[in-house]
Amino acid sequence: MPSDSATEVDVLIVGAGISGIGAAYHLQTRCPGKTFLILEGREGLGGTWDLFRFPGVRSDSDMYTLSYSFRPWTGEDTMAGGGAILEYLRTTAKAIGADRRIRYRHRVERARWSSSDDRWTVEARNGATGGLTTIACRFLYLCVGYYDYDEGYTPQLPGRERFTGRIVHPQQWTPDIDYAGKRVVVIGSGATAATMIPELARRAAHVTMLQRSPSYVLPWPRRDPLAVRLRGRVPERVAYLAARWKNLLIGVGLYQFCRRYPALAKRLFLGMTARGLRGNADLAPHFTPSYAPWEQRPCLVPDGDLFEVIRDGRVSVVTDHIETFTETGLLLRSGARLEADLVVTATGLRLNALGNIALEVDGARVDPARLMVYKSVMYSDVPNLAFGSGYIGSSWTLKAELASSYVCRLLRYMDEHGYTRCCPRRIDPTLQEEPLMDLTSGFVQRAVAQLPKQGSAQPWRLGQNYLLDLAILGRIVDPSLELSRPRRRAAATDQPRARSGSRL
């Protein structure tokens, strides 16, 4: 294990959230000879689950697939609260020893690659001293997620300076925000709004969900029926794997079904919503989107809790546009007024590329928008760098673990064959660029031009099918992956010969 003062490691992980902690496990298990550190810009581990503290914060996918394959989820709730997830991550990091590899309050600002010695030089701002810490590594693994941790997205809201109450974005929620007995307006209809509104309704005088357009909101079992049935009847590991694979296959199948048969999927989704609304025809228009399922991610609500608080009158739903804030609330385009003491702008996130880290390759600045993702793990023309990201259509951790497994196999392969550099190259002249995320969600569309691209064919497509990705990420040798030995040992790039079925 490297010391706290280490200035060079084999692998440097950036980020101590779900992806980073998982990466640490896979590295020390599959590549036990590698030294590594984790740099985390915040004061604690957990990433998203340490950042978001708003009422009711919880997972938007099931915990049997959001949890790690190597550490089963033992909680009862299928969609767990943020506090329970953070505790799970903390205990996991401690159990595997990853907590001792983390340097907190080290925000990476810059990373420079040098082909002369095949290594990265990484500069991180030390939050304790304000100075820069420099660490060199042979391989850089970015586990920084895809959105801006500093601030969420809030659109221009006319007249907000006149409002005498409080306006807060969920990403900036603090413990001092008092909503007990208050009139609360939540602007937005996505997962954050659907998550926090039932919890706000417990103490608020009344909550209004104000949306410009409806989203798909689907009731989902709070406790997994299969897991409940198996608990105590079979070994815990068996019960976990059964629930995990059942949910994994449902997630993959449902996403593919929605993409291939959008009209049928829409009927299915609206049928599920109607059951949550108990046939209330007046509410149905507020939950009937104009877009097809999975053009935006649907919102899952445990046991239909959002519908419950709407049915009992604690929550109202208004579909309209904001004309302006007033001193006491909001004036809508229709002429209606909403009185409020607290307005929550659940209006989305800001995406960023590369964790706002400035990358350079041999002195040339890397433009994220000109990159193309390779196997959803690496970037074109950027050597010895991988990123850990999750699925859009399934749980984040499923894809993040596949990425870490691939990185470990790649590192072992390089060691066994004497390679010190790996770099994806776009060698197919017919390859076309496509947007990285095929979603119409506002947070995606606002950032799509600045994000890396995906390609029109494998291995450059962003996979959304776990079973296919198992095969795609199982292979190391690939014509698009350039592998090189040190210059002192080979004058030119030495590309390995592809072997049918070759894998590690």
Q: 58, 54, 50, 64: which is closest to 21 by C-alpha?
A: 50
Residues 185 and 292 in one domain: yes
Q: 405, 312, 349: which is closest to 155 by C-alpha?
A: 349
Across the range 272-281, mean pLDDT stands at 90
Give percent of the chain above pLDDT 90: 81
Residues 333 and 190 in one domain: yes
Residues 423-444: tens digit of each pLDDT? 999 999 999 999 988 777 776 7
Query: In this structure, is residue 500 part of a structural domain?
Result: no
Query: In this structure, is residue 124 part of a structural domain?
Result: yes
Check which CATH number belongs to the domain holding 104 and give it.
Answer: 3.50.50.60
| Long-range contacts of residues 73-76, Cβ cutoff 8 Å, at least 24 apart | 73/240, 74/236, 74/240, 76/223
Pairwise CA distance, residues 139 & 37, whole Å: 11
Residues 337 and 369 in one domain: no
Last residue of a domain, one of 299, 330, 345: 345
Query: In this structure, is residue 494 part of a structural domain?
Result: no
Last residue of a domain, one of 306, 327, 345: 345
Q: How distant, in Å, are the alpha carbons of 22, 142, 237, 370, 405 from that of 38? A: 11, 10, 29, 27, 17
Pairwise CA distance, residues 257 & 265, whole Å: 7
Could you identify the residue written with the tokens 């590295």?
Answer: 27
Query: In this structure, is residue 3 part of a structural domain?
Result: no
Pairwise CA distance, residues 476 & 65, whole Å: 25
Question: What was the pLDDT predicted at 2?
Answer: 65
Residues 319 and 183 in one domain: yes
Q: How distant, in Å, are the alpha carbons of 168, 343, 385, 439 from that of 447? A: 22, 25, 22, 12
Kind plus residue range of the DSSP H or E element containing 385: strand 385-387
Residues 326 and 202 in one domain: yes
Residues 139-152: tens digit of each pLDDT? 999 999 888 888 88
Query: In this structure, is residue 492 part of a structural domain?
Result: no
Q: Residue 88 contacts by C-beta under 8 Å, 6 or more apart in sequence?
A: 67, 71, 73, 75, 80
Residues 166 and 127 in one domain: no
For residue 214, the Cα-to-chain-centroid distance in whole angstroms is 23
pTM more than 0.85: yes
Query: In this structure, is residue 313 part of a structural domain?
Result: yes
Residues 341 and 364 in one domain: no
SS3 content of the chain, % helix, strand, coil (to 5): 30, 25, 45
Residues 478 and 398 in one domain: yes
Pairwise CA distance, residues 186 & 168, whole Å: 10
Number of compact structural domains in the chain: 2
Residues 164 and 145 in one domain: no
Q: 203, 198, 220, 214: which is closest to 310 by C-alpha?
A: 198
Residues 313-368: tens digit of each pLDDT? 999 999 999 999 999 999 999 999 999 999 999 998 888 889 999 999 999 999 99
Question: What was the pLDDT predicted at 422?
Answer: 98
User: Helix axis angle, 396-417 relative to 18-30, nearest 10°?
Assistant: 30
| 400: confidence class by pLDDT, cuts 50, 70, 90 | very high
Give the residue numbers spanning the domain of 471.
8-149+351-484
Token pair in block for residue 493: 């790039």
Residues 402 and 260 in one domain: no
| 193: confidence class by pLDDT, cuts 50, 70, 90 | very high
Residues 227 and 340 in one domain: yes
Last residue of a domain, one of 313, 345, 377: 345
Could you identify the residue written with the tokens 């221009």?
Answer: 156
Residues 338 and 386 in one domain: no
Question: What was the pLDDT predicted at 368?
Answer: 95
| 495: confidence class by pLDDT, cuts 50, 70, 90 | low
Query: In this structure, is residue 103 part of a structural domain?
Result: yes
443 burial level (CB within 10 Å; 0-12, 13-18, 19+): buried
Question: What was the pLDDT predicted at 504?
Answer: 36
Question: pLDDT at residue 497 above 50?
Answer: no
Question: What was the pLDDT predicted at 138?
Answer: 98
Residues 227-269: tens digit of each pLDDT? 999 988 999 899 999 999 999 999 999 999 999 999 999 999 9
Query: In this structure, is residue 189 part of a structural domain?
Result: yes
Q: What is the DSSP letter of 331?
A: E
